[in-house]
């Protein structure tokens, strides 16, 4: 329960599509993923050349950094956010500036204040990984209005479907990020098939942004990097709303019960907008994670994110959540240090 995957696996429709595609694996894939891009573009009411498909968002983030950053330039993001932002930025020779968090999440005021003449990119994770926080559509409107023209804003919505579901339940307006793209703003929205669609192992993600930027990014892709089965599965997964709804409902129920149980045990577990829960355990989280692993449950300790006392646990099936909780209680009974 460490990597925020879908506990229900891929959609049966995606599995069927992959099985059929296996027999065509003597051929190289469509390098432009045209059918998938067309379907995404039609669904999101954007032009096909505003959509770029890559081998997961990790790959796309790397491409974006290589396209837009060089030594002496920087990218701005938040502390305690997705770990690939600093990695990809530094690999491209850029510097990463991490603004302080507010209430465990993005402080868009602090991000805007950190933008400097050398800034080319801003990474916003909404919801944020690993803290599960969210900023609403109005907050992003205010931020985008303030960003200088020379900065590209990357709005990473890897957990979009989960957040949208919670936003419906909790009655807030989550995101209308694609409107910025439709209005010609320098905003690139990132989504993935790894989370709600349950295809993390296939590696398919996509960006939606200005056509000229997407063309620049496209030139830096590794040729043929999105495989024949990956493209087939992604196309089929888009048609299986029932499978996604199953994951979303299970996730919302699991989020509620996990946060309640962990809070009941005396730990600070945050409200989540994604498919994982951030929890402060009051002691070295790395040691807790090791003890959990000895119980057969893998969770993420967040020391590398600058949160040495926090864990992140992916929301699983009800059985997996119960197994996590039982192991957590056993593990913490042996070390009763509470907040």
Ligand X SMILES: Cc1ncc(COP(=O)(O)O)c(C=O)c1O
Residue found under tokens 């509470």: 338
Does 125 participate in binding ligand X (rule CB under 6 A)? yes
Segment near ligand X (CB under 6 A); pick from 52-60, 103-111, 167-175, 294-302: 52-60
Closer residue to ligand X (CB): 218 or 322: 218
Q: Which is nearer to ligand X, 160 or 324 (CB)?
A: 160
Minimal CB distance residue for ligand X: 56
Among 121, 193, 130, 118, CA closest to 154: 121
Are 173 and 167 a contacting pair, CB within 8 Å? yes
Contact between 62 and ligand X (CB under 6 A)? no
Residues 6+ apart with CB under 8 A from 147: 112, 115, 122, 153, 186
* Candidate list 89, 192, 270, 275; residue touching ligand X; CB under 6 A: 192
**Considering the complex, what minimum distance in angstroms separates the CB of residue 254 from ligand X?**
17
CB closer to ligand X, 143 vs 193: 193
Q: Does 158 bind ligand X (CB under 6 A)?
A: yes
Secondary structure (3-state) at 180: helix
> Rule CB under 6 A: is residue 15 a binding residue for ligand X?
no
- Please list, in sequence order, all residues whose beta carbon lies within 8 angstroms of the beta carbon of residue 283, skipping any fewer than 6 positions away: 309, 335, 337
State the Cα–Cα distance between residues 215 and 72, nearest whole angstrom.
24
Number of helices and strands (H, E) in the chain?
Answer: 13, 11
Three-class DSSP labels, 198-267? CCCCCCCEEEECCHHHHHHHHHCCCCCCCCHHHHHHHHHHCCCHHHHHHHHHHHHHHHHHHHHHHHHCCC
Shortest distance, position 123 Cβ to ligand X, whole Å: 9
Q: How far apart are CA 321 and CA 205, in angstroms?
A: 27
Q: Which residue, among 226, 240, 158, 227, has the nearest Cα to 195 in the 3D structure?
A: 158
Q: Contact with ligand X (CB under 6 A): which of 1, 4, 6, 301?
A: 4
Q: Does residue 50 bind ligand X (CB under 6 A)?
A: no
Region of 55-63, 138-146, 214-222, 265-273 interacting with ligand X (CB under 6 A): 55-63
Q: Which of 200, 211, 265, 271 binds ligand X (CB under 6 A)?
A: 200
Residue 205 sits in the site that holds ligand X (CB under 6 A): yes
* Residue 261 or 305 with smaller CB distance to ligand X: 305
Q: Which residue in the set 6, 11, 194, 275 belongs to the binding site for ligand X (CB under 6 A)?
A: 194
Examine residue 156 and tell whether it contacts ligand X (CB under 6 A). yes
C-beta of 134 vs 289, nearer to ligand X: 134
214 binds ligand X (CB under 6 A): no
Is there a contact between 328 and 292 (Cβ–Cβ < 8 Å)? yes
Please tell me the count of residues contacting ligand X according to CB under 6 A: 13
319, 22 contact by CB (below 8 A): no
Q: Please, what is the minimum distance in Å from the beta carbon of residue 333 to ligand X? A: 31
CB of 25 to ligand X, least distance (A): 22
The stretch near ligand X (CB under 6 A) out of 38-46, 53-61, 248-256, 260-268 is 53-61
In the complex, which residues of this chain contact ligand X (CB under 6 A)? 4, 56-58, 82, 125, 129, 156, 158, 192, 194, 200, 205
């Amino acid at each position: 329960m460490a990597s925020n995957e879908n506990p229900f696996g891929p959609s049966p429709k995606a599995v069927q599509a992959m099985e059929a595609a296996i027999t065509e694996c003597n051929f190289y894939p469509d390098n432009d993923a045209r059918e998938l891009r067309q379907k995404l573009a039609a669904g999101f009411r954007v032009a096909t050349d505003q959509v770029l498909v890559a081998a997961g968002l990790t790959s796309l983030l790397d491409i974006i950094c290589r396209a837009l950053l060089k030594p002496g330039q920087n990218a701005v993001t938040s502390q305690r956010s997705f770990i690939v932002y600093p990695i990809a930025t530094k690999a491209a020779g850029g510097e990463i500036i991490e603004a302080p968090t507010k209430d465990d999440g993005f402080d868009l005021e602090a991000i805007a204040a950190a933008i400097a003449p050398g800034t080319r990119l801003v990474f916003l994770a909404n919801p944020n990984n690993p803290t599960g926080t969210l900023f609403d559509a109005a907050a992003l409107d205010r931020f985008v209005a303030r960003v200088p023209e020379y900065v590209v804003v990357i709005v990473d919505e890897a957990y979009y479907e989960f957040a949208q579901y919670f936003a419906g339940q909790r009655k807030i307006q989550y995101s209308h990020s694609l409107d910025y793209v439709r209005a010609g703003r320098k905003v690139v929205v990132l989504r993935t098939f790894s989370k709600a669609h349950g295809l993390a192992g296939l590696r398919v993600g996509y960006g939606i942004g200005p056509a000229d930027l997407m063309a620049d990014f496209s030139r830096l892709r590794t040729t043929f990097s999105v495989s024949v089965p990956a493209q087939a599965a992604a196309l089929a997964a888009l048609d299986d709303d029932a499978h996604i709804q199953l994951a979303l409902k299970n996730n919302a129920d699991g989020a509620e019960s996990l946060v309640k149980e962990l809070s009941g045990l005396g730990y600070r577990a945050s409200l989540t907008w994604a498919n994982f829960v951030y929890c402060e355990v009051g002691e070295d989280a790395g040691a807790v994670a090791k003890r959990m692993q000895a119980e057969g449950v893998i969770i993420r300790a967040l020391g590398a994110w600058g949160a040495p006392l926090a864990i992140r646990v992916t929301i699983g099936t009800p059985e997996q959540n119960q197994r996590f909780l039982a192991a957590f209680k056993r593990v913490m009974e042996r070390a009763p240090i509470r907040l």
